[in-house]
Amino acid sequence: MIHLAMEDKGSGSKSSVEKIRVCLFSTVQTSGDVRLFHREAKSLARAGFDVHVVVPSDFSGTKDGVHFHAIRRAKNRFWRMLLMPWVAMWVALKTKSSIYHYHDPELIFVGAVMRWVLFKKVIFDMRESAFRLILGKEYLPKWSRKTLSFCYRVIEKVCLKGIAIVLANESIAEEYKQCYLVRNFPEVDEDIMANAMDMVERLKLPLLVYVGGVWESRGALLYVELAKRLSERGHSFRMMIIGPYEEQFGRELKAKVSELNLQDAVTVTGLLDYREAMKLTSRAAIGLSMSGPKVAPNRAICLAGKIIEYMMCGTPVLASNFEHWRSYVEGERTGMMADPANIDEIVEVCEKMLSNPSELAAMGKRGMEAVRTKYNWNVEFKVLLKCYEKLQKG
């Protein structure tokens, strides 16, 4: 049974719950993670929960009503997956919470131990389809991916018994019998929306922006190639690639920008504060959400949350032509789509968008309205709250 977001004006008020202690934990996400902290933890704190968060961080203390407990960052992927899950579990248990809410597939054994050995109430927050993610992991030998994906799927069926499942994407909801669909939509920020730049101003020197993980599979090199083509065609523009990246890939990306002599047009910022990233997005002419030419199996079926964030900022979207994304982009008429494996088509669509100011402005307005009325965290949080309340009563 899938629990969907429904209008319920009584949900979410502080009076609807007692002061229940809950702990959200991760070995991958940081203290500034948008879904874990800005959406879930802060919303739960406002709803009256005593919220604790365990993540790799340099910060321990209280922020926006949420209590942070820092754990060390693993030096490499091996130690992060082998040792840190148990460290995170130990620190989480020290909070003596009533509900434990974990976010990473690599914590699946920890979740099972907490549920069936320690008899805790546990939630697994499944952002994407984990066994499909394995199929797209480039650091794994190609011959091993299908086998490891199958093994994880078997492990998942065993370890998730008796654990509440929260899903961020409806495309995988049918694969799980008992789940809560809590889509990763943004919290309506009326300040950002009210101060979003007028499209006429945005187009004086068009800004193309990308916000998210800066990886090759998420289109980072594709954006640089797009910038090269636009520059060669005589366009004046700026491009900002905003988000975290691994050190080696960051060096390669910046070297590519320099090699193509695009330093004046393209900026790779690294990780920025979420609200700062959204403010920059609210000044952009186009928000980019393209995948690399080799599309990971998981990518095509899971909606990129940045698409809805661009819409909130009144920024038209240029997105990959994935079927699952189509209703949000073409269906809501908030942008245009292109084949991520066809750079010529991407450039053509981008130029078409930039050459039609009135339609760009209309796309931005339609995006804002869709977020206000349908695609927002205020609606989704009511489902998460039902999950917590049911666990507490059970």
Q: Which residue has the tokens 């889509």?
A: 183
Q: What is the rounded distance in angstroms from the CA atom of residue 253 to the CA atom of residue 241?
A: 10
pLDDT in tens, 55-65: 999 889 999 99
In Å, what is the CA distance from 192 to each residue of 38, 145, 206, 309, 339? 15, 42, 19, 11, 31
Whole-number pLDDT of residue 78? 77
Q: What is the rounded distance in angstroms from the CA atom of residue 333 to the CA atom of residue 196?
A: 19
Question: Mean pLDDT, to the nearest integer, of 238-255?
Answer: 94
Question: What kind of fold does domain 190-373 have according to CATH?
Answer: Rossmann fold (3.40.50)
Q: In terms of C-beta density within 10 A (0-12 exposed, 13-18 middle, 19 or more buried), how is residue 316 classed?
A: buried
Amino acid in the structure at residue 73: R
Q: What is the rounded distance in angstroms from the CA atom of residue 134 to the CA atom of residue 140?
A: 8
Mean model confidence pLDDT for the chain: 91
> What would the two tokens of residue 37 be?
């902290």
Question: Mean pLDDT, to the nearest integer, of 159-184?
Answer: 89
Confidence category of residue 20, pLDDT binned at 50, 70, 90: very high
For residues 289 and 320, the answer to whether their CB atoms sit within 8 Å is: yes
Closest CA to 51 of 74, 12, 20, 22: 22
Q: Which residue has the tokens 């080696």?
A: 248
Whether residue 4 has pLDDT greater than 50: yes
pTM score, whole prediction = 0.83
Confidence category of residue 11, pLDDT binned at 50, 70, 90: very low
For residues 292 and 217, the answer to whether their CB atoms sit within 8 Å is: yes
Q: Which residue has the tokens 């691994």?
A: 246
Domain ranges of the chain: 2-185+376-393, 190-373
Amino acid in the structure at residue 124: F
pLDDT in tens, 268-322: 999 999 999 999 999 999 999 998 666 566 666 788 889 999 999 999 999 999 9
> What would the two tokens of residue 34 be?
């948008």
pLDDT in tens, 107-154: 999 999 999 999 999 999 998 888 887 887 777 888 888 899 899 999
pLDDT in tens, 313-348: 999 999 999 988 999 999 999 999 999 999 999 999
For residues 222 and 290, the answer to whether their CB atoms sit within 8 Å is: yes
Whether residue 83 has pLDDT greater than 50: yes
Whole-number pLDDT of residue 394? 74
Q: What is the rounded distance in angstroms from the CA atom of residue 373 to the CA atom of residue 365?
A: 13
Confidence category of residue 375, pLDDT binned at 50, 70, 90: very high
Q: In terms of C-beta density within 10 A (0-12 exposed, 13-18 middle, 19 or more buried), how is residue 42 classed?
A: middle
Q: In terms of C-beta density within 10 A (0-12 exposed, 13-18 middle, 19 or more buried), how is residue 277 classed?
A: buried
2-185+376-393 CATH, one of 3.20.20.150, 3.50.50.60, 3.90.550.10, 3.40.50.2000 = 3.40.50.2000
Whole-number pLDDT of residue 16? 47
Whether residue 200 has pLDDT greater than 90: yes
Q: How many CB atoms lie within 10 A of CB 129?
A: 21
pLDDT in tens, 209-243: 999 989 888 899 999 999 999 999 999 999 999 99
Confidence category of residue 17, pLDDT binned at 50, 70, 90: very low
